[in-house]
Amino acid sequence: DRIGKLEEEGGAPLYMQLQRVLRSAIERQVLAPDEALPPERDLAEAYNISRVTVRKALDGLVDARLLMRRRGAGTFVASRVEKNFATISSFTEDMLSRGRQPHSEWLARSEGTVTPEEAMALGLGPGSPVYRFTRIRYADGQSMALEYATVPAQALASLNAVDESLYDALGDARPMRVLQRFRATLFTPEQTDLLGIPAGMPGLEIERRGFAADGRTVEFTKSYYRGDAYDFVAELSVAP
Ligand code: 16G
């Protein structure tokens, strides 16, 4: 009832009418991101149409990425996050600004000395001390990304200074400029397990080197974003 009614007789085909109703409910957030749709059987009954018609309507919306199916769990309103590409923000800020609750599951928090790759990325000499943080990042309980961050030890007060947000812990030393590299990735079976996603899902690997206002490199982070959860958007203009 809350979702809306179909048009009167003689309108567009029924599956299209249902699509229109669902589309509008999603746009008005009557159906919220990540909300489960009623079972197809219930929709068919409520709208007095066949299950085949319901399925056809939902298939179209899944193709249009407005809905997504989770194996064994049903059909959900898609909850893709649009991340602006042109400004620097933290995961925590990204989620809070969308009214979603960020949460991290810590997989590792350790102290060590730089690997050659980290030394190069962070501009540190061999043997420099670093902290490493591995986290699964969630929004409203839904896994969004896996993150492996390496931070020069001197950038933080201590290994345990990071609570929920790395950028909060960095404070005045948070990145003011970043260099990023993107590449397509397929999640490994281990990452698939950690994120609780279907096998074979594509992802986006983003390597970020972040520089504090004084120019020091303060993070070298590899983020693996779920391909079904993110749209990266940016406004570009022609070079002057
Ligand atoms: C974002 C950054 C990541 C940074 C993290 C800090 C990208 C691609 N990555 O995920 O480099 O370490 O935010 O988030 O934007 P936090 O302050 O919530 O820990």
pLDDT of residue 205: 97
Q: In this predicted model, what pLDDT tens digit does every residue of 131-159 receive, in sequence order?
A: 999 999 998 888 999 999 999 999 999 99
Q: Which residue has the higher pLDDT, 228 or 67?
A: 67
Q: Is 95 in the pocket of ligand 1 (CB under 6 A)?
A: no
- Cα of 28 from ligand 1 centre, angstroms: 30
pLDDT tens per residue across span 49-94: 999 999 999 999 988 878 988 878 889 998 778 788 888 999 999 9
* Residue 145 in tokens: 């990304």
| Alpha carbon of 86 to ligand 1 centroid (Å) | 14
User: What residues contact residue 191 under an 8 Å CB cut-off, 6+ apart?
Assistant: 146, 203, 224
pLDDT tens digits along 168-189: 999 999 999 999 999 999 999 9
Q: How far apart are CA 115 and CA 106, in angstroms?
A: 21
The answer to whether residue 128 scores a pLDDT higher than 70 is yes
Structural domains of the chain in order of their starting residue, each with its CATH number: 14-77 (1.10.10.10), 81-233 (3.40.1410.10)
> What are phi and psi for residue 218, nearest 5 degrees?
-115, -10
Counting ligand 1 atoms within 8 A of each CB, the residue from 122, 167, 226 with the most, and so the one to mutate, is 167
Residue 3 in this model has a pLDDT that exceeds 80: no
Using CA positions, which residue lies closest to atom 2 of ligand 1?
A: 90
Is any atom of ligand 1 closer than 6 Å to the C-beta of 94?
no
Predicted ipTM beyond 0.85: yes
User: Between these two residues, 33 and 204, which has the higher pLDDT value?
Assistant: 204
pLDDT at 230 over 70: yes
pLDDT at position 28: 82
Q: Report whether pLDDT(214) > 90.
A: yes
Task: Please report, to the nearest 10 degrees, the dihedral formed by the alpha carbons of residues 207, 213, 216, 219 taken in order.
Answer: -30
Residue 94 alpha carbon to ligand 1 centre in Å: 9
CA of 44 to the centre of ligand 1 (A): 43
Mutate to test the pocket of ligand 1, among 91, 136, 205 (most ligand atoms within 8 A of CB): 91
| pLDDT the model gives residue 29 | 80
C-alpha span between 145 and 188 (Å, rounded): 13
The angle formed by the CA atoms of residues 43, 49 and 52, to the nearest 5 degrees, is 85
Choose the residue to mutate in 166, 204, 226 for probing ligand 1, maximizing ligand atoms within 8 Å of C-beta.
Answer: 166
Identify the top-confidence range among 26-35, 57-66, 220-229. 220-229
Question: Which residues 6+ apart lie within 8 Å of 167 measured at CB?
Answer: 90, 92, 93, 174, 175
Secondary structure string (H, E, C) spanning the chain: CCCCCCCCCCCCCHHHHHHHHHHHHHHCCCCCCCCECCCHHHHHHHHCCCHHHHHHHHHHHHHCCCEEEECCCEEEECCCEEEECCCCCCHHHHHHCCCCCEEEEEEEEEEEECCHHHHHHHCCCCCCEEEEEEEEEEECCEEEEEEEEEEEHHHCCCHHHCCCCHHHHHHHHCCCEEEEEEEEEECCHHHHHHHCCCCCCEEEEEEEEEECCCCCEEEEEEEEEECCCEEEECCCCCCC
Q: Which of 181, 207, 221, 230 to mutate to test the pocket of ligand 1 (most atoms within 8 A of CB)?
A: 221
- pLDDT of the residue at 34: 82
Most confident of 28-42, 109-123, 224-238: 109-123
Sign of CA dihedral 7, 9, 12, 16: positive
Rounded mean pLDDT, 115-133:
97
CA–CA separation, 149 and 151 (whole Å)? 6
Query: Comparing C-alpha atoms, which of 102, 21, 7 is closest to residue 54?
Result: 21
**pLDDT score, position 181:** 96
Decide whether any atom of ligand 1 lies within 6 Å of the 174 Cβ. Answer: no
Report CA(70)–ligand 1 centroid distance (Å): 27
